[in-house]
Chain A
Amino acid sequence: MKRIGTFLSENGRFRTVAGFAILLLALALSALASSVSAQGASDENVKPIPLLQGSAGFLTNFEGGDAHLTPIVTPVVLVPLGQRWLFETRANFETDMVQVPGLSGFHGKVEKEVDYAQLDFIANRFMTVSAGRFLTPFGIYNERLYPVWIRNLQSDPLILPIGIGPSNASTGAMIRGGFKTHPKFDINYAAYFSALSTTAPVDSDRFAGLRAGIFVPSARLEIGGSFQHLLQEERSNLFGFHVIWQPTPLPLDVRGEYAHSKRGSGYWIEPAYKLSQLPFLQNEMRRTQLVARYQQFFTGELLSDALPSVNTKQFEFGLNYYFMDGLRATSNYGRQFSSAGNLNVWTLGLTYRFVVPLGPAGSIQ
C-alpha cells in the first residue's frame, strides 16, 4: 500500500521527538482519565476507559511485476476525559520492502507517522468541536475507510489525494456532528479550517471546507457532498460527492466517490457482496466476500505529485475471507490502463484489528 505525502528522511529526528511527545501526552491524559473515572465511579453511566486499538497487516503487492512486502501497524490511542472530552491519536508504522539489485532479500525503511492527534469536545447533541491535527473530512475514504482492517481492497483509490492535503491531514479546528432532523433521516456535517504548516510531521495546506451528508436508516443509504476552498497557491475550489448503500435484502455494500479539483478529477465505485445467501458451505460462505472496484482519473489543468500524470482507468476484483471478527485474509487483482502503460496490480495479505483496554473493562451483562 502506498501512502500519500510521506514524512521521510530529513526530519526523522524531529518526528521521533514529536512522536514521543504525543505518546507522553497520551499517557499523561490516560492517567488523568483514570483518576477522573475513579472519582466518578459512583455515577450511573458507564465510565469509558482509555483504549489502545488499531490494526496490523502484512501485505504483498505486485505492481507491474515488482514485488513489495508491506508490514504495517497502526495503533490508535483513545483517552476519554470526563463526560465530554476525548483525546485520540493514531500513528502509522509501515515499511515498503523491495528487492534491491545486488542484495538478497527485501529491503525497506520503516516510515513512522502520526496520522492524527486531536482533542474532541462534545459540546452538545448537535456539535462536537475538534482541534489539533485531524484527518481531512473530504469525501469518505480518508476519514472512514482508510485503515487496512476496514478497506475492502487494499489499494488506494486514484482520487484519494484530492482534497485531503499533504499527509492526509489538516492542522486546525473542526466542528462536526450528526443529528436527527426528521424521523426518516439523519444529517451529518463537518466544517473545518486548516492552517498552512510546512513542518514535516504536521505539514498541511491552508484551506477551509465543509462536508454534509444525509443518512436514511430505513434504506441504509447515505449520500453526501464535500466542498473545499484552497486558501493558498491557486486558491481554487474543490468539490466531491459520496454514496454508501447497503440494500436491506442483500449482504451487499456499494460505495462510491467522485472528486473534482484543478489538479484532476475522477470517481470510484465499489460493490462488495458477502456470499452468506448461498445454500452450500454456509459456514465458509458467510465469511467470504467478493469485491470489485472500477475507477477513472482525469488529469486537470495543474500537475500534482500525488496524482497520476495521465488519464487512468483501473479495474480491480478481490476476495476477502474473515477467519473471525477482526482477522481477515485479503486478495485482489487489478489492471490499470493508461497512456503511460498498462500494468497488473496484485495484492495478497492478512489484516487484523485489535482492541486492548488500558484499565478495568467491566463485563458484559
Chain B
Amino acid sequence: MRRNRILVCCLGVMALLVRSSIGQEHAKSEKSPSAATAVGPSTTSPKATHDSTSPQALRSSASDEKAARIEGERRFRANCGRCHQPPHKFPPRVMAAAIRHMRVRAMLTDEDMRLILKYMTQ
C-alpha cells in the first residue's frame, strides 16, 4: 500500500514537472518573436555605444558580436552535444551556474565556457 502511494506520488511529481515544462515551452514560443527583435540592439554593448559612436565602430562591434555568437553556437554544439542533447537557452544567471558545473564535469576550456555562456544567454 505504501509502495503504491510512493508510486502515485512519483507519477504525480512527474506529471507536474511535465506540465510545467510544457508551460515553459509555450511561454518560450510566445516570447520568441520579441526576443528575436531584442537581439538586434543588444549586439552592441552599452559601453561600446558610449565609447565609440561612429557608424564604422558600431558596425565593427556588431560584427564582432555576431562572430562571437556564431563561434559560441559552434562550440555549444561540439561540446554539449558530445554527451547529451543540446538544451534550449536558459536565463543568464541559470546558465552561468550550469556552465560552471559543465566546466568541471565536461572539462570545458575557459574560452569554450565564455563563448557558450554568451551564446546561450543571448
Contact = CB atoms under 8 A, between A and B. Distances in A.
What is the interface of chain B mostly: helix, strand, loop, or mixed?
helix
Contacts of A105: 3-4
Interface in B2-27: 3-4, 6-7, 10-11, 13-14, 17-18, 20-22, 25
B21 A352 contact: yes
A110 B103 contact: no
Contact of B107 (A177, A244, A365): A177
Contacts of A189: 107
A202 interface: no
A318 to B, nearest CB: 15
Contacts of B50: none
B38 A73 contact: no
B104 A180 contact: no
B42 to A, nearest CB: 4
Contacts of B88: 325
A67 interface: no
A53 B106 contact: no
A106 B10 CA distance: 14
A36 B39 CA distance: 30
Nearest to A320: B85
Given A48-B100, A128-B103, A58 B21 contact: no
Interface string B94-122: 11111011011111111110000100011
Contacts of B92: 46, 361-365
Interface residues of A, number: 70
Interface string A211-228: 000010100101000000
Contacts of A190: 107
Interface string A193-218: 00000000000000000000001010
Interface string B76-87: 001001111101
A352 B18 contact: yes
A122 B96 CA distance: 14
B87 A222 contact: no
A176 interface: yes
B85 A322 contact: yes
B11 A354 contact: no
Contact of B84 (A88, A97, A149, A217): A149
A131 interface: no
Interface string A122-133: 100100101000
B101 A73 contact: no
A136 to B, nearest CB: 13
A86 interface: yes
Nearest to A107: B3
B121 A220 contact: no
A324 interface: yes
A145 B97 CA distance: 20
B14 A325 contact: no
Interface string A57-74: 010000000000101010
B93 A357 contact: yes
Interface in A291-348: 322, 324-327
B109 A354 contact: no
A128 B106 CA distance: 12
Given A353-B87, A357-B93, A364-B89, 4 more contacts: A51-B94, A80-B96, A106-B7, A362-B94
10 tightest A-B contacts by CB? A178-B107, A48-B97, A48-B96, A361-B91, A188-B107, A125-B110, A71-B10, A362-B92, A365-B42, A150-B84
17 contacts: A46-B92, A47-B93, A48-B93, A48-B100, A51-B94, A56-B13, A71-B6, A78-B98, A95-B10, A128-B104, A144-B83, A220-B78, A244-B83, A325-B85, A327-B18, A364-B122, A365-B121
